């Protein structure tokens, strides 16, 4: 199967599972469920759930990885809702349409994000009752990725660093937590659904670190060089908020070179993996090729 076909197959599985696991839009109170579905149904790359499913196919699967893929996408969507709020990035556009707080209101957006976060762990608690050790492992991986030392901590440091000068090491630290944490978790959650050898987890984590930095660097470059019609979200917000981006700290050309270097290193790690990682390798290339 070609990369595009396999990617689309994964994406369709994720879309169907998201619809199946989320509460119906008409369930009382309808407003919160409408807001949850509005944010989730906006589409997007579905990168994190696709990574879960791709890694789950590297080895023999012990359990269905699809609920884990849904859980990480719901948690990711909650972060996007909260990121867009006026008190955070103040972005009115997400995935080509009004952000949740614009479509509904700020209070509903906050609560929709809270509900999606809760729903993510509810799904994990219900989906893996027959394999509690796997379920517990998945809960631990996802909760650690989203906690105050990883995703939330990175967001806090990113906010505190606004309107300040920071160095390259601090910038990497912020995004190894704020951005890379969920990508690392996605790879590891996929493996947790399989009989993968112990050393595979460390390799997946390292690839996720590189992948997270590539994703953020490319995102920063596109924010500085693209437009809302192409990206489907507000551009220039980083400059307006005086955020420390890779373009601001390193410059545009050096940022491109860093993304290419990290991509090469991630691909080298994949090549050293005793598994058929062709899909993962192509996905890594595609992330950098967003700049092409």
Per-domain boundaries in the chain: 3-286
Residue whose structure tokens are 């390292």: 206
User: What does the pLDDT read at residue 213?
Assistant: 97
User: What does the pLDDT read at residue 239?
Assistant: 60
For residues 222 and 247, what is the distance between their CA atoms, to the nearest angstrom? Answer: 10
> At the top level of CATH, which class does the domain 3-286 belong to?
mainly alpha
Q: Tell me the Cα Rg of the chain.
A: 18
Which pair of structure tokens corresponds to residue 91? 């972005």
Which residues 6+ apart lie within 8 Å of 44 measured at CB? 95
Element (H, E) at 98: strand 97-98
For residues 267 and 218, what is the distance between their CA atoms, to the nearest angstrom? Answer: 17
Full-prediction pTM beyond 0.85?
yes
User: What does the pLDDT read at residue 47?
Assistant: 97
Number of other CB atoms surrounding residue 264 within 10 Å: 13
Element (H, E) at 106: helix 106-127
User: What does the pLDDT read at residue 44?
Assistant: 82
User: What does the pLDDT read at residue 83?
Assistant: 94
**Pairing state between β 97-98 and 93-94:** antiparallel
| Nearest to 134, CA basis, from 68, 84, 219, 59 | 68
Residue whose structure tokens are 């796997």: 134
pLDDT in tens, the chain (292 residues): 799 999 999 999 999 999 999 999 999 999 999 999 999 998 888 999 999 999 999 999 999 999 999 999 999 999 999 999 999 989 999 888 999 999 999 999 999 999 999 999 999 999 999 999 999 999 999 999 999 999 999 999 999 998 788 999 999 999 999 999 999 999 999 999 999 999 999 999 999 999 999 999 999 999 888 776 555 556 556 665 677 899 999 999 999 999 999 999 999 999 999 999 999 999 999 998 886 5
For residues 196 and 190, what is the distance between their CA atoms, to the nearest angstrom? Answer: 10
Which residues 6+ apart lie within 8 Å of 164 measured at CB? 244
User: What does the pLDDT read at residue 206?
Assistant: 98
The values of phi and psi at residue 194, to 5°, are: -125, -175
Which pair of structure tokens corresponds to residue 256? 């491109």
């Amino acid at each position: 199967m070609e990369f595009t076909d396999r990617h689309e197959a994964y994406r369709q599985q994720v879309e169907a599972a998201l619809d199946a696991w989320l509460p119906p839009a008409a369930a009382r109170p309808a407003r919160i469920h409408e807001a949850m579905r509005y944010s989730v149904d906006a589409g997007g790359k579905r990168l994190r759930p696709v990574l879960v499913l791709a890694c789950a196919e590297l080895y023999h699967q012990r359990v269905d990885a699809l609920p884990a893929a849904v859980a990480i996408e719901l948690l990711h969507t909650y972060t996007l809702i909260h990121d867009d709020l006026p008190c955070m990035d103040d972005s009115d556009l997400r995935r080509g349409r009004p952000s949740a707080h614009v479509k509904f209101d700020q209070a509903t957006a906050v609560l929709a994000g809270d509900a999606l976060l809760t729903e993510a762990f509810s799904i994990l608690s219900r989906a893996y009752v027959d394999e509690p050790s796997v379920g517990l492992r998945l809960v631990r991986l996802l909760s650690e990725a989203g906690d105050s030392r990883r995703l939330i901590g990175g967001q806090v440091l990113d906010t505190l660093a606004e309107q300040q000068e920071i160095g390259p090491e601090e910038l990497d630290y912020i995004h190894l937590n704020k951005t890379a944490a969920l990508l690392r978790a996605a790879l590891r959650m996929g493996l947790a659904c399989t009989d993968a050898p112990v050393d595979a987890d460390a390799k997946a984590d390292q690839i996720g670190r590189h992948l997270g930095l590539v994703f953020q660097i490319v995102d920063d470059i596109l924010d500085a060089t693209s437009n809302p019609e192409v990206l489907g979200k507000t551009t220039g917000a980083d400059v307006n908020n005086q955020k420390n981006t890779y373009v601001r700290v390193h410059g545009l050309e050096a940022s491109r070179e860093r993304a290419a270097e990290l991509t090469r290193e991630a691909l080298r790690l994949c090549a050293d993996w005793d598994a058929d990682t062709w899909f993962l390798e192509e996905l890594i290339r595609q992330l950098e090729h967003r700049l092409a």
